[in-house]
Structure 1
């Protein structure tokens, strides 16, 4: 489907804001609920914006919406307008609107994100918080593309568009079942893992990159690799006896069925940061989440 260029009405900020929320929420219905309007209103705003742009901005499918290349160019501006509108609304309401709202939080490891979310919800139990785990590459790209309010990422790149607040310094360890022979060791080397089944995250993860770089440097060839999507699944696989896993220390509070063993070649510490774009840091919801670091 396309649009013929010609005389078109200029788009207004309502259309851009609706567009931003459709992308953020993943559907027209969710965007309408977030904005407090009808779905037909959101649909009309998007249709008018696409007519004004003279091109398709979103592809609709059974799994939600997907940005077209033109839509990606529009989204950055639209999301900035949505953030500005939210900031204006907060100021008009006197900064006492913490009885409602929603935060979209993403991360590449479950801790310390869950600790911060728990602390935030103890203070603001009426705020809806969504949290999703992604591999390092996806989480970083989503943050760069403004698809989350807050991200918690280990070793994120520096960027002029966002603020990075250090949270903690962590290292990589081997997660090992208590009954495994390696569980009695104070430390292990990558050489010890050549004969083990090693559970690792997917290719886009920081863990996978760090592990593969270390193996190349030390000329280690891991013979049996099992790939899984997230740390909770990896940890469950360790408990089920699938193998041993490499991941960041203290990624689980469950300590009675597995041990964390330092890996000699992975002794460098990695910094985990809270990240938010500079305009979103000005929003009260985001600031209050950041305040939970204190």
Structure 2
């Protein structure tokens, strides 16, 4: 059985729209004989005529009208596909799937990019930091913005911002008046922890074990937004990454002596995609927003200008 080729369908749809072989050829940028050959081959494969040719012009037969309805839809879909593909390749529009592990810093970093490319739909997925690399390798997301990515071979990893852990206290807490506290001083407080798979939970647990600090009374919450609200309402205190805390009345962030390390927030993408289309444009936007500044521990750190 002979198959109908894509080129035959394109020629058929063009003649059906133009009602003329010569006009269809001009629209497609090919010779009229090429269009005629495609239509003849299609009619031969079908065993029926799809056009009636007369001195009055070219008209679709009943079978031709039935097939044209589908062929025209296929051509429209192909045109839409090409338009969207062109937008993706040029970095001027389309859809971008982004994985984030914490919302506040990621949102303020994505905002300048959205302003640059307003026709882009950013589909944001929030999940534990540990799965970020696997999501990228499986092509489930285009770009990841998360802390300290591991096993990044084959990936483009761009440092965006360096964070330090701080204590998060209600402004009514006596410790909120201090410039710095020790981890042991929080031990008597009700402590707000995060789920075990979070980067913050793993790092805080490591420090508590190292300095033999225990929080007998604690609450467990899912994310930074819930934690901030809980602290403001007096449900306890917490430890979190400073740049991940959104400015809020009633909250105070105080440095902790034992938490002097810098933790790097990175933008990560598959290397083959890192320099092209929307992915390349987002990474370029993030790079342009980086500035070098002095951290609270006196070291030079990267910060996001936004």
Aligned residue for 1:16?
A: none
1:254 corresponds in structure 2 to: 247
2:187 is paired with a residue of what secondary structure? Answer: helix
Please tell me whether the aligned partners of residues 138 and 204 of structure 1 are also in contact (alpha carbons under 8 angstroms). no
CA contact under 8 A between 1:167 and 1:274: conserved in structure 2? Answer: yes
Unaligned 5+ segments in structure 2 are 1-80, 289-306
> Residue 98 of structure 1 is aligned with which of 92, 106, 128?
92
User: 1:200·1:247 contact (CA, 8 Å) conserved in 2?
Assistant: no
Secondary structure of 2:114's aligned partner: helix
CA contact under 8 A between 2:104 and 2:246: conserved in structure 1? no
CA distance in 1 between counterparts of 2:202 and 2:150 reads: 15
Residue-by-residue CA offset, 1:202-247 (whole Å, 9 max, x unaligned): 1011111111111111111111221111111111111111111211
Which residue of 2 is the match for residue 10 of structure 1? none
1:140-179 alignment, distance < 5 Å: 140-179=133-172
Question: What's the offset of the Cα at 1:292?
Answer: 1.3
The unaligned stretches of length 5 or more in structure 1 are: 1-85
Alpha-carbon deviation of 1:268? 0.8
Corresponding residue for residue 180 of structure 1: 173
- Give the direction of change, closer, same or farther, for the CA distance of 1:151–1:171 in structure 2 (3 Å limit): same
* Counterpart among 276, 281, 285 of residue 292 in structure 1: 285
For residues 33-89 of structure 1, the C-alpha deviation after alignment (integer angstroms, 9 at most, x for no partner) is xxxxxxxxxxxxxxxxxxxxxxxxxxxxxxxxxxxxxxxxxxxxxxxxxxxxx99x8
Aligned partner of 2:270 in structure 1 is 277
**What are the equivalent positions in structure 2 for 1:227-242 lying under 5 Å apart?**
227-242=220-235
Q: Any idea what SS the aligned residue of 2:103 has?
A: coil
| 2:144 and 2:269 in contact (8 A); partners too | yes
1:200–1:139 distance in 2 versus 1, CA, 3 Å: farther
Aligned to 2:146, what secondary structure does the other structure show?
strand
Change (3 A) 1:140 1:94: closer
Check the 8 A contact 1:140/1:153 in 2, yes or no.
Answer: no
Q: Secondary structure at the match of 1:179?
A: coil
Alpha carbons of 1:244 and 1:93: their partners in 2 closer, same or farther (altered >3 Å)?
closer
Query: Where does 1:103-142 land on structure 2 (aligned, <5 Å)?
Result: 103-142=96-135
- The change in CA–CA distance for 1:221 and 1:283 in structure 2 (over 3 A counts) is same
- Structure-2 change in CA distance of 1:241 and 1:194 (3 Å): same
- Among 255, 259, 263, the residue aligned to 1:266: 259
Q: How many residues align?
A: 206
CA distance in 1, matches of 2:88, 2:262: 42
Is the contact between residue 195 and residue 222 of structure 1 (CA under 8 Å) also seen in structure 2?
A: yes
Please provide the CA RMSD for this pair. Answer: 2.2
SS at match of 1:253: coil
User: Where in structure 1 do 4 or more consecutive aligned residues deviate above 6 Å?
Assistant: none
Alignment of 1:199 with 2:192, yes or no, is: yes
Higher-Rg structure is: 2
Shift in Å at residue 142 of structure 1? 2.4
Displacement of 1:146 in angstroms is: 2.9
TM-score for the superposition, normalised by structure 2: 0.62
